[in-house]
Amino acid sequence: MHCTRKVTDNLYWVGANEHRLALFENIHPLTKGVSYNSYLLLDDKTVLFDTVDWSVCRQFLENVAHVLNGRKLDYLVINHLEPDHAASIDEVLLRYPEVKLISNEKAFMQMRQFGFNIDERYEEIKEGDTRSFGKHTIAFVYAPMVHWPEAMVSFDTTNGVLFAADAFGTFNALDGVLFADEVDFDRDWLDEARRYLTNIVGKYGPHIQALLKKATPLVPSIKFICPLHGPIWRKDFGYIIEKYDKWSRYEPEVKGVLIIYASMYGNTESAAVALATKLREKGVKDVAVRDVSSTHVSWLISETFKYSHVVLASVTYNLGIYPLIHNYLMDMKALNLQQRTFAVIENGTWAPKAGGLIREFLDKELKQITVLGDELTINSSMTEEKDVELDSMADSIVESLKG
Ligand code: FEO
β-pairing verdict for 11-13 and 161-163 = unpaired
- pLDDT grade for 253, boundaries at 50, 70 and 90: very high
- 228 and 263 both lie in a single domain: no
pLDDT score recorded for residue 396: 98
Residues 6 or more apart whose Cβ sits within 8 Å of residue 368 = 338, 339
Q: What is the pTM of this model?
A: 0.96
Percent of the chain surpassing pLDDT 70:
100
In angstroms, what is the span from residue 143 Cα to ligand 1's centroid? 13
Q: How far is the CA of 109 from the centre of ligand 1 (A)?
A: 17
Rounded CA separation 342/358 (Å): 10
192 confidence band (pLDDT: 50, 70, 90):
very high
Of 343, 393, 392, which is closest to residue 369 (Cα–Cα)?
343
177-195 average pLDDT score: 98
pLDDT at 1 over 90: yes
Distance (Å, whole) CA 369 – CA 287: 19
Band (pLDDT 50/70/90 cuts) for residue 403 is confident
In angstroms, the CA 85 to CA 89 distance is 9
User: For 224, how many CA atoms within 13 A lie in the half-sphere containing its CB?
Assistant: 24
Cα angle 80, 83, 87 (rounded to 5 degrees) comes to 105
Residue pair 5/12 in contact by the 8 Å Cβ criterion: yes
Q: Is the CB of 28 under 6 A from ligand 1?
A: no
Q: What is the mean pLDDT of the chain?
A: 97
- What distance lies between CA 317 and its chain's CA centroid? 31
Residues 146-159 have a mean pLDDT of 96
Is pLDDT above 90 for 193?
yes
Asked if pLDDT for residue 83 goes beyond 90, the answer is: yes
- The verdict on the CB of residue 229 being under 6 Å from ligand 1 is yes
Q: In whole angstroms, what separates CA 63 from the centre of its chain?
A: 27
- End residue of a domain, out of 248, 270, 299: 248
Q: Does 160 lie in the same domain as 66?
A: yes
**Closest atom, ligand 1, to C-alpha of 151:** 2
Same-domain check for residues 303 and 369: yes
**Where in the sequence is the domain holding 369, given as residue range(s)?**
257-401
Looking at the chain, the number of H-run helices and the number of E-run strands are: 13, 23
CA distance 53 to 231: 17
C-beta 192 within 6 A of ligand 1: no
Query: Same structural domain for residues 188 and 302?
Result: no
The answer to whether the beta carbons of residues 258 and 337 sit under 8 Å apart is no
Q: Report pLDDT for 20.
A: 96
User: Could you tell me if 124 and 103 are in contact, meaning their C-beta atoms sit under 8 angstroms apart?
Assistant: yes
Tell me, in angstroms, the distance from the centre of ligand 1 to residue 26's CA. 13
Task: Report how far ligand 1's centroid is from the alpha carbon of 83 (Å).
Answer: 8
Indicate whether 304 and 390 sit together in one domain: yes
156 phi, psi to nearest 5 deg? -85, 105
For residues 261 and 228, membership in a common domain is answered with: no
Q: How confident is the model over 343-391, as pLDDT tens digits?
A: 999 999 999 999 999 999 999 999 999 999 999 999 999 999 999 999 9
Q: Into how many domains does the chain fold? A: 2
The pLDDT tens digits for 285-295 are 999 999 999 99
Same-domain check for residues 331 and 384:
yes
Nearest C-alpha to atom 3 of ligand 1 is from which residue?
A: 82
85 CB less than 6 Å from ligand 1?
Answer: yes
Q: Which of 214, 248, 282 is the last residue of a domain?
A: 248
For residue 118, what pLDDT band results from cuts at 50, 70 and 90? Answer: confident
What pLDDT sits at residue 117?
85
The tens digit of pLDDT for each residue in 20-43 reads: 999 999 999 999 999 999 999 999
**Chain centroid, CA 304 distance in Å:** 13
Q: What percent of the chain has pLDDT over 90?
A: 98
CA distance 280 to 106: 52
pLDDT of 119 reads 85
According to DSSP, residue 55 is labeled G
User: What spacing in Å lies between the alpha carbon of 82 and ligand 1's midpoint?
Assistant: 5
Which domain-ending residue is among 196, 221, 248? 248
CATH assignment at residue 55? 3.60.15.10
C-beta separation of 48 from 40 below 8 A: yes
The secondary element (H helix, E strand) that includes residue 95 is helix 89-95
From residue 102, alpha-carbon distances to 6, 95, 146, 226, 230 in Å are: 23, 17, 19, 18, 24
